Structure 1
Amino acid sequence: MSQHSLLIWLDANINESEDDYKAALHELRCIIASVATFTDVRECLDFLSKIKNKKVVMIVSGSLGQQIIPEIQEWPQLESVYVFCGNQSIHEKWARQIPKVRGVHTQIDPILKALQIDHENCARAMIAISFNGIDTLFKYAQLLKETLLEIEDDDQKSIKQFIHYCHLQDDIAEDQISKVESEYHCHTPIWWYTAPYFMNSMLNYGLRLMDVDVIINMRFFIRDLNQRIEKLYHEQQSSNKIMAPFQLFRGQALSVGDFDKMKQTKGGFVSFNTFLSASRNSQVSFENFARSSAIHNPNLVGILFVINIDPSLCSTLSTSFADVTNEGFFEDCEEEILFTMHTVFRIDQIQHIDDDDTDRLWQVDLTLTGNDDHDLNALTGHIRQGFHWATGWLRIASILMALGESSKAEQLYNSLLEVASSDEDRANYNHQLGSVYYNMNKYSKALSSYERSLEIRKVALPPNHPDLATSYNSIGNVYRNKGDNSQALSWYQQAIEIRKLALPANHPDLATSYSNIGSTYEDMGDYSTALSWFEQSLEIRKVALSADHSDLPATYDNIGAVYYKMGEHTKALSWYEKALKAREKVLVPDHSDIATSYNNIGVLYYSIGEYSKALSFLEKAHEIDRKALPPNHPHIAQSKKNIENIKKKL
């Protein structure tokens, strides 16, 4: 069960004042925080019918179950049913006809054990998995992990903030919140993560959905848990506890969509975007978590991951892992190994497992990657370069923007503004919030946020400080996109005046200002003036930037676009091809910037009537965009439209 599950216990003989029922309810609430009890069928049905956004597990007596379960078995909110009765053989007859009935029992203990396995299955299914070349999140997962772990704050203050946040939620048991509040430092983070409380499911939920509130409030636990695993890892390595190559096993369910992605990525990489647990026990991993998932849910595929690890390569690993047998909440029967967050594996083999009861069982062989993996380094190196300017929460918000999660970035900046304690932070957060609105095309809101930031900076900073130029430049961007080119030029000129005084002559920020002015003149149709400004920008960037910097091919594109609009297609094509060549040297083949080059060249060929060439480049651009960008990104719709237009011409 996840944090967002509910358990209903229906039995005419429930008496919560009796010790046996009290003890059973306590055990149940350790697994599922929200438990509702009923003795009346109609009241139970009325309650269940109003549940829309939670999955429900039911424990029901034999007689009432026979009465109610056939009526509600198709209700989507009902996940599974356990029959708790006095005569197992009688009630198994009708229960066998209903797929959602997971078992008929005369004792509570087998139900508790089954619920615990279901809880673990749900927790595993909640772990976000991303694949290189398909999921945008994959590219940013490692940087996201590094950034979260770099953020330092007051531990006690963070725990108090977390407890306050938990009290505001309606699906966390108060006794569990109180336990965390009073006993957090009495146990290790591994104990809390493996305990049947809400910490595990809340964290997995937050990281799966990139829920800003959860990530902010659980940042201390993410850091503590990661550090504890790393500490155990080094202790166990130094004591030679794990030396020979070995295998670990992890059973879990995947959606059909995720499994299809995995098959497409064979030979590539998969990232588990939270803390990953695996076991030395293949049988438990297979039966409890792979096979049971496939049998009980026709919409899921049961996967047995076989993870190959060579400890002799541990010095090059980017991930730590530790045997947590002695620190877990339960007496370990699964021989658990826990990995640090965002572990990356190479997908080696995928093979079907024959089974009499289901055809949806597969074994997937994985190998843990190291820092010396060239392919993985190529994927992540340029991502880091793009975020070198930001640290901490600013970088987290920027990653959210890159993932197409503008509303979550907006939420994060507003949360940070509420606790900002300095003029510098307030100015920076307002400015970045303006950038979020700018990218959402909400120009009035962007302007308001930029202006708030500027007012703070005018008071707090000297008159020629570079941050003031940044504000002026951003305000100019808003006016240019609103079509007010004269206002845009005015703000850009103010930015240039400060940058000429405050920065070296070949500073990249000056190149940015020149480029922005060039774009404004391009918008005004003054192409020769635009070309002059772009060329000045290029001269600085050639000197100031490394040969593999993304701003260089972007400038080539700007110059190519001006020539294209001037009707000089040969020159335009030359600059576009120069941009493509520069990108192909340093970027992975499916990078979105390469798609930009393909698109530019394709559109040019289309405009001069070379439709076959145009189609070839635009289809390549669309294929990359489809993999590299969020599904709702405007580039995807535009490239699809361009392709449709060309096909009409052929």
Structure 2
Amino acid sequence: MVKKHLFNALLAIALVLTSSVSTSAYANVDEWKALIDQVGTLYKQGNYDRAVEVANQSLAVAEKTFGPDHPSVATSLNKLAKLYAAQGQYAKAEHLYQRALATWENRLGPNHPDVVLSLNNLAESYRNQGKYIKAEPLYQRALTIGEKNLGPNHLDVALILNNLAVLYASQGQNTQAELLYQRSLAIREKALGPEHPDVALSLNNLAELYTSQGQYVKAEPLYLRALATWEKRLGPNDPNVALSLNNLAELYRVQGQYTQAEPLHQRALAIKEKSLGPEHPDVAVSLNNLAELYRVQGQYAKVEPLHLRALAIREKTLGQDHPNVTTSLDNLAQFHHDQGQYVKAESLYLRVLAINEKVLGPEHPDVALSLNNLAELYTSQGQYVKAEPLYLRALATWEKRLGPNDPNVALSLNNLAELYRVQGQYTQAEPLHQRALAIKEKSLGPEHPDVASSLNNLAELYASQGQYAQAEPLLQRALVIREKTLGPEHPDLAQGLHNLALLYTILGQYAKAEPLHLRALANREKALGPDHFDVARSLHYLAALHATQGQNAKAEPLVLRVLAITEKTLGTDHPAVAISLNNLVVLYRATNRESEADELQQRANAILDIKR
């Protein structure tokens, strides 16, 4: 983010340096200033195509009036580059930022304070492209110039510290990021006072870092303080208030506090529609987040229309190949994946991959994420031969671009290990799970929820091999972490409870297993409602426990409820319905109800025969 006062300083220099311009050119100066102002207005409106046209006009006027190496030209170059970056045209933006930087350095010298702006912008361009190695030295140089010429407590120094922190956070270097965010916040509080809008931005950024680390207790008061500041200083309907509401809602969502999250997302959406217009790209962000909230709650009828509207806005305002368009496509693909609509999901994931490779290059971290998502789709369909090379390519990309200890590398290792586990390739899976766990413990801390996920997966691997003594303490540690970080009633705690209960079931310790299954079921029913598909999962585990003990009379109503929920939430032809039908078939055959079992078996087979 570029501070307005920094841009205004450069604009002032550009105008001061027009003293050699002839009197006849003054009209052109006024025209240039008007065009620059118009670009700013169009940018705020999200009208990027028209803004690019006007920015090109301003560049032409500046070059004609002042010559190709004038600071006014650099200002126009910066404006145009910013627009291209907003549209995802990073290669175009990079070239313009480089030219602007060269102009400022030639006119002002390489260590002038106002070179900081160009260094920052070029670094931002590299960061957005995942070119972190190129970005860091530019940020560092900008920081050095700023500290030397402006002083360590100058607001422009705070800006560079903030952006450098974003870079480090993007690479999982959270300790370094936290220190820089805290220093940036301290500078702004001292210079501007504790209730300035820029202080609220620093609070928001630090809270986002804590949220990403699972430190929700630290994040919430920062988000609340940022929200209060923006509401007080900017009014209740400012877009920054909407940003704060959105982030606070996301904090509640990841903690399973859905009833608290929904009104915040709805208010954020209303503010953006009112202040920015119904087709602004930021409106699409709120639509996307609200849709994801409904998706995790299983309210699928509400999900697709919101994602489709967000996609339409982004394609119209940003173009069909913009990286933000891929966010909407990804979410739609995940929705279809959840619904068992694999052909639709695959086509969307492939489109996302094609866009990211075209716009960002084949080795960008976002390309690795696209590869990972497509591989997960193939894995869920049992297409392991298709999935493995995608996982391997994603892993290689993340290791190369982010380093061997980045959390994304751990994600890739985990998914590859799970692929090997489901194929019974346990010796290949174990070292990958162990390395993923080590990375997460080091980069996120030993009590992060993602660490619990790795512990759970490693335990499942050991259980698959009959190594129950090794699995149990891992499952217990994972459960403790989730209870501590998420709270005892979070829906994500349920799977950990089920996993430990399943282990006890295998060991024949049924008395230990049942209360864990019941607690998991209660958590999900309370947080998600009685008809959520995850509730059906919990009912399935409990039914299986009863069936294992020969308690078929207890199991049957649970299996029937699983079937009813699955049909209601996913549709009568979803593959999960076939699984429920088959479970009921097993139960009926165990109780000598062959004709009913045959009828259900035929229906299950018909569902599985559907081409998806």
**TM-score of the superposed pair, with normalisation by structure 2:** 0.44
Q: Which has the higher helix share?
A: 2
Q: Which has the higher strand share?
A: 1
**Larger relative CO (CA 8 A, sep 6+): 1 or 2?**
1
